[in-house]
Structure 1
Amino acid sequence: MKKIVVFGSTGLLGKPVTQALIEAGFAVTVMVRNENLAKKLFPKATIIKGDLKNESDVEKAIAGQEGIFLSLSVLQTEKENEWHTEQQGLDTIIKIARTQQIKRIGYLSSLVHLYQGMNGFDWWVFRIKQEAVRKIKESGIAYTIFYPSTFMESIAYQARQGDMIALGGKSAYPLYYIAAEDYAQQVANSFKILHDENKDYIVQGPEAFTQDEAAKVFIKYYTKEKLRTLWAPMFLMKIMGLFTQKFNYGYHIVTALNKYPEKFEASQTWEELGKPTITLKAFAEKIGER
């Protein structure tokens, strides 16, 4: 396989995957809305300006490709009854992929979405993710689905609010934080080694921390400026979620992260796709140098 099209290439997790695929020697095409940004990020990629809502754009992007990689997500501000990339957008991609010579679909899912149905937990975002996995597995196209633990980038770019790292509730289980760069290398390796087999990969990093422990490690080794933690009780997040969609999203994702019984399950992934090497300490130090 040589030619791969990436949907969601300019996102926080899509960028390192796209770069890793390019560096691995694949002929990468990206379909984006912001053409100028994509040209700056991926000067060696073929860039197609388009929108997932437009079927003809998707058809143009997929034509002539051998592989597809999907780095899609539900935005924190989106509501259940709206259009979603992982729902209607995915439907369009699969529909067109079936008519082309696509050999493999790679998809970024999540490990924590497996909390759906545990302890009575039910969230429409996780239902969309469950359905996305089902649709891909029933597409008739060989697939690789990645289920990553919490990304280290979530501390630096999502939990961080100014000079504070926002935390909610208390972790019942430690999380195997993974750096997006290590994950991206595993994705690139999967496209190198796989043929027509179907694969599910748990993606976890070399160390496990509760969210509070992870925040403390990040703060200790991030030297660019002094940071501190800000803790919010879950009941307060739940109340605020009644008034704003972003806090509603935050309440649900933090609840799942705090309660999902994560254990180490990435042995096969490490064996087949390579062992992650980036520690949270090294990640924080590198981010602090930028």
Structure 2
Amino acid sequence: MIGQPVTNQLIWAGYEVRIIARDVAKTKQLFPQVEVVFGDLRKPESLHTALSGVDTVYLNLSVRQTEKPGDFHTETDGMRHLLAAGKQAGVRRVAYLSSLVMRYQGINGFNWWVFRVKQQAVELIKASGLDYSIFYPSCFMDSINQTQRVGRFVLLLGQSPVKPWYISAHDYGSQVVSALQIVRQDQNQEYVIQGPEAITQTEAAERFARVHTNEKLRVVTIPPILLKAGSPFSAQASYGWHIGEALNKYPEVFEAEKTWAELGKPKLTIDEWTRFTF
């Protein structure tokens, strides 16, 4: 959802790109014009060769909805393997997709192990001794179609007055490229990534459904209590309730002045992104 648009932007910008993937054949079908090599964050011995000759490694990691606290986490366990291999291989910079909504941790007593993992990932990068570029995005427009959409339905978890600054993966990829183009050696970067307008999740879903004329879509609201009730029995339900709670209540404000000044202002609104994509 996010890795592919960023990779395309890096390719279009003229970077020599190497993709590290567990499934080389499948990834090569998506990117036939670039080098694809095997690498697995669970297998540290696979990473040194994969990273050899790489100046900057861009990481797009996440916690799966079915993951449990005691499982292997790519953003911490895998991150440790990658940072160690990267330092041995001569990597100079780590660019990393983090999260803005993880700041909800600790607000209103909210305490979720997934956000602790994401916080630890940032701490590991900053303590690694490598240069870093860390991006903290608001909600991605792309998640409306790829995460919230089930067939003809666009699902919402409750109603919220909060207005995230939705960003498209296309615009985010452009900003990643701009950041890497302007950065100096030994300089660290941190950017809040926000789109051109603040709208509620309900408005975003309804506008997506209205503009997406290829097929008739319907927005459906699910009561959060249903997922909360299922949380003790299902890791996926627990994930859904916690991320929904954070997205519905994190008091997002505009913080991207520096980002827009240095990396350019995002262009796509929800309506424009929907027309552009579909």
What is the TM-score of this pair, normalised by structure 1?
0.93
2:234 alignment partner in structure 1: 244
- Which of 130, 140, 146 in structure 2 is aligned with 1:141? 130
The letter of the residue matching 1:15 is: Q
Q: How does 1:13-32 map to 2 (within 5 A)?
A: 13-32=2-21
1:283 corresponds, among 270, 273, 277, to: 273
Indicate whether 1:264 and 2:223 are aligned. no
Q: CA deviation at 1:241?
A: 2.2
Runs of at least 4 residues off by over 3 Å:
none
Unaligned runs of 5+ in 1: 1-11
Alignment match, 2:38: 49
Q: CA RMSD in A?
A: 1.1
Deviations 1:121-174 (A, max 9, x none): 010100000000011011111111000000001101101111111111222310
Q: Write the mapping of 1:19-98 to structure 2, written as runs, cut at 5 A.
A: 19-98=8-87
1:192 aligned residue: 181
Could you tell me how far 1:283 is from its partner in structure 2? 1.4
Pairs within 5 Å for 1:168-187: 168-187=157-176
CA drift at 1:268: 0.7
> Whole-Å Cα distance in 2 between the matches of residues 109 and 172 of structure 1?
24
Letter of the aligned partner of 1:158 in structure 2? T
Q: Tell me if structure 2 keeps the 8 A contact 1:172–1:261.
A: no
Partner of 1:153 in structure 2? 142
Deviation, 1:242, is 2.4
User: Contact 1:108/1:145 (CA < 8 Å) preserved in 2?
Assistant: yes
- The equivalent of 1:255 in structure 2 is 245
Q: Is the 8 A contact 2:140 2:169 kept in 1?
A: yes
- Range moving further from structure 2, 147-156 or 90-99: 90-99
Which of 193, 198, 201 is 1:203 aligned to? 193
Post-superposition offset of 1:191: 1.2
Q: Distance in 1 between matches of 2:189 and 2:277?
A: 32
Correspondence for 2:112: 123
Identity of aligned residues (%): 45
Structure 2 length normalisation: TM-score? 0.97
Q: Deviations over 1:78-109 (max 9, x none)?
A: 11101111111100011112223222110000
The amino acid across from 1:16 in the alignment is P
Deviates more, 1:107-116 or 1:43-52: 43-52
The alpha-carbon deviation at position 39 of structure 1 amounts to 1.1
Deviation at 1:205, TM superposition (A): 0.4
Gaps in structure 2 of 5+ consecutive residues: none
| Match of residue 230 from structure 1 | 220
Q: Which amino acid is 1:27 matched to?
A: E
Give 1:3's aligned residue. Answer: none
Deviations 1:211-239 (A, max 9, x none): 11111111110001111111111111101
Do 1:222 and 1:287's aligned partners in 2 also have CA atoms closer than 8 Å? no
Distance (whole Å) between structure 2 residues aligned to residue 82 and residue 257 of structure 1 = 24
Partner of 1:8: none
Q: How many residues align?
A: 277
Structure 2 counterpart of 1:39, which letter? K
